[in-house]
Copies of this chain bind each other. A is one copy, B any other.
Amino acid sequence: MPVNLSAPVAADLLPVAGVELGVAEAGIKRANRKDLLVIRLCEGATVAGVFTTNRFCAAPVTVAKQHLAAAQDIRALVVNTGNANAGTGEPGMAAARATCSELAHLLGLAPEQVLPYSTGVIMEPLPVEKIVAGLPQAIADLKADNWFDAAQAIMTTDIVAKAVSRQVSIGGRTITVTGMSKGSGMIHPNMATMLGYIATDAAVAQPLLQKMVRDAADCSFNCISVDGDTSTNDALMLMATGQSEVVIDAANRAALQTVINEVATLLAQAIVRDGEGATKFITIRIEGGHSEAECKQIGYAIAHSPLVKTAFFASDPNLGRILAAIGYAGITDLDVAALQVYLDDVLVTEQGGRAASYREEDGARVMQQSDITIRVVLNRGTASATLWTCDFSYDYVKINASYRS
C-alpha cells in the first residue's frame, strides 16, 4: 500500500485555463480500463520537456524530442498506457508517428504539433489501431476540469493516482500550477521521470520554460529511486498556456519556479510513496560533501542497496548495511572516521563505529515509523543533496514477478 499517500480529491485539482484533457478506454492491454489520454493546449501555449537518457529510449521519446525541436506551437499531447513502445525499432517509430498523425488530423493540426508518450511493457508492438480507434472517445471527453480522470488514465502498476495543484500570486494576479505523474517501478529517473505533466496559465517563452523544467526535474524527479532502473520512457513536460496574461521573465521567475518545484517534488515523492511494494518512505539527506554530485553518489548507493532496503522493510536497525553502502559508493578518499550517520534524530555512527550514545531501542523505535530520514554528515565540505526512496518488500518481488503475465 502507498506510504502516507492518499489519492487526490477531484475537487482539489484546479483547472489550468488553456488546458483540456480527455480520456478513453482503448483496450490497449486490458478492456474496461482508462488507458488513453489526450491533452489539448490553447493557441500560443509553450511546451518544454526533459526526457530519459536511456540509450534504448522509446520511440515516442524520440518522436516527441523531434517534434519539440521542429515546432514552436505544440498543441496536443497523447499518452497511452499498457505498452511502452520501447525496444520496438523502426516499426515502433512508425507507430508513434501514426498516432500523432491521426490525432493531428482529428484536431486540425499538423503532426509535428502533437507529442506522443507511452508507458507499459517493453519490446512488444504498439497496437496503434486500438489507439487510433480510441482517439475520438478521448477527444469527445476533452474538458478543463478533467485532471482527476487524466491522472488515472496514465497509471500502470500505480495503486493511487498522483496529481496536485498550487496557486501563487505574481504581479497581483493568481497563477495556477497543476501537475500529475505516474510511476511505481523502473524508477531511477535520469533527466526526468516516468511520466510527469505540469501545466500553468502563466505566459513563459519556450527557452525560459525549458530552463524551468530542467530545474524542476533536478530537484524532484531526478532525486528519487524505487529500484535503480532508469526507464526507457521517462518524460517530464511543462506547459504554459499564458491565459492568465501574466508574463514570466528573469525578474519574476523565482516565484513561479518555487511553486513548480513544489508541485514537481510532491509528484516525485508520490511515486516513491507508491513505489512497488513500498511500506516505508525513506528520505536520504547527505550533508557536508565536497560537491552535490558526491552527495548524490553516496545517497544513491544507500538508496539502491537491496540489503539496506530489506532491513527497512523488516524494521530492523541493521544499520551496518548503511555504512557498507557509504563505503562502496566510490568516493575513494572518504574518511569514514570523520562522518556521522543519523536515523531521524538518533546519532548512529561516529569515529568509524557505533556512536557511544547509540542504543538499539532508539534505532528500533525510528525503524517502526513509515517515514524515516537517514542523514549522513560527511564533514568535508558544504554541499548537500536530498533523495527519496522506499524499502524492498515481498510485494516488490510479487509485483515484478507477475507484472507482465
Contact = CB atoms under 8 A, between A and B. Distances in A.
A227 B89 contact: no
Contacts of A90: 351-353
A10 interface: no
A231 interface: yes
B349 A397 contact: no
A321 B352 contact: no
A306 B225 CA distance: 12
A291 interface: no
Interface stretch (A41-49, A64-72, A96-104, A324-332): A324-332
A332 B55 contact: yes
Contacts of A393: 397
A400 interface: yes
A349 B314 CA distance: 39
Contacts of A227: 305-307
Contacts of A405: 314, 316
With most chain B CB atoms within 10 A of its CB, the pick from A90, A228, A231 is: A228
Nearest to A230: B328
Contacts of A353: 87-92, 123
Contacts of A316: 401-402, 404-405
Interface residues of A, number: 71
Contacts of A12: none
A213 interface: no
- Protomer copies: 2
Interface string A125-157: 100000000000000000000000000000000
Contacts of A354: 87-89, 123-125
Nearest to A57: B327
A325 B405 CA distance: 20
Given A87-B353, A125-B354, A316-B405, 6 more contacts: A56-B324, A89-B352, A122-B320, A228-B305, A307-B400, A310-B401
25 contacts: A54-B328, A55-B327, A56-B324, A86-B320, A88-B352, A89-B351, A89-B354, A90-B351, A90-B352, A92-B352, A92-B353, A122-B320, A122-B321, A123-B354, A227-B305, A227-B307, A229-B305, A229-B307, A229-B324, A306-B400, A310-B396, A314-B400, A316-B401, A318-B404, A392-B397
Enumerate the 4 nearest inter-chain pairs by beta-carbon distance, A residue then B residue, closest first. A122-B320, A89-B353, A56-B327, A123-B320
